[in-house]
Amino acid sequence: CPSSPKHPTAASEKCGVLNVTKITEHGKKVRKNWTSSWAVLQGSTLLFAKGQGGGTGWSYYQRGSIPELLLSLLANWKHSVKRRPAVSYVNSGPVTAATKFGGSQSKPEFTVDLRGAILEWASKDKSSKKRVLELKTRQGTELLIQSENDTVINDWFKALGEMISTHAWE
Ligand code: I3S
């Protein structure tokens, strides 16, 4: 999984930027709020990061602005050096997807349990956008996941589908 400058420690099966909105939470319809998020797929968990975009190294990278990317990486590095504890991470507890997910730099906005989830291409009545996946979890959350890029969304469809079938009976 390619790491982003903002999430250099994320080690996972797949990650990248996706547009996402919840449409149902705990079985109840919620208002759409499309946001661009850094998504990480790890095992049976799909995580979305808080605060993607707006001045992150990754957004500079996406825009192709190398000088800004380098400055941002340097700023992030200085920041993480300051915040890094003197003792290393040995015996700091189990390393889970959530703790690996950007470490001290960001917290997951929300996580999705893929066990027993249903994934399909969203019908037109769910969104006017193209390339939209609909993900329904056992917990009664429904998400729409979208990308402007065909390859990106097809790859996510495949990866999520594989994860769901792998963990379906857990
Ligand atoms: O399914 P909807 O309600 O037509 O979804 C659209 C709205 O949520 C809209 O927000 P407001 O109703 O707050 O203006 C969003 O801006 C649109 O993006 C939503 O539709 P799409 O078709 O983009 O998922």
- The sign of the torsion formed by the CA atoms of 153, 157, 163, 167 equals positive
Cα end-to-end span (Å), the chain: 24
Q: Which residues line ligand 1 (CB under 6 A)?
A: 32, 34, 127-129
**Spacing, Cα 19 to ligand 1 middle (Å):** 13
- Give SS3 for 135: strand
| pLDDT in the model for residue 55 | 40
Cβ count within 10 A of residue 148: 10
| pLDDT in the model for residue 109 | 85
Nearest atom of ligand 1 to the alpha carbon of 34: 18
Residues of the chain with pLDDT below 50 are: 9-10, 53-57, 60, 63-65, 67-69, 72, 75-76, 78-95, 98-100, 102-105
| pLDDT in the model for residue 122 | 98
**Spacing, Cα 129 to ligand 1 middle (Å):** 10
Please report which helix (H) or strand (E) contains residue 37, including its range.
strand 35-42
**Spacing, Cα 160 to ligand 1 middle (Å):** 25
| pLDDT in the model for residue 113 | 96
Tens of pLDDT along 27-42? Answer: 999 999 999 999 999 9
| pLDDT in the model for residue 6 | 55
| pLDDT in the model for residue 168 | 77
DSSP character at residue 129: S
**Spacing, Cα 132 to ligand 1 middle (Å):** 13
The structure's pTM equals 0.70
Q: What is the ipTM of this complex?
A: 0.91
Give the span between the Cα atoms of 122 and 124, in whole angstroms: 7
The H-assigned helical ranges of the chain are 57-63, 66-83, 97-100, 150-167
- The sign of the torsion formed by the CA atoms of 7, 13, 17, 21 equals negative
| pLDDT in the model for residue 90 | 42
* Paired tokens of 21: 């909105």
> Among 32, 34, 36, 127, which is best to mutate for testing ligand 1, by the most ligand atoms less than 8 A from CB?
32
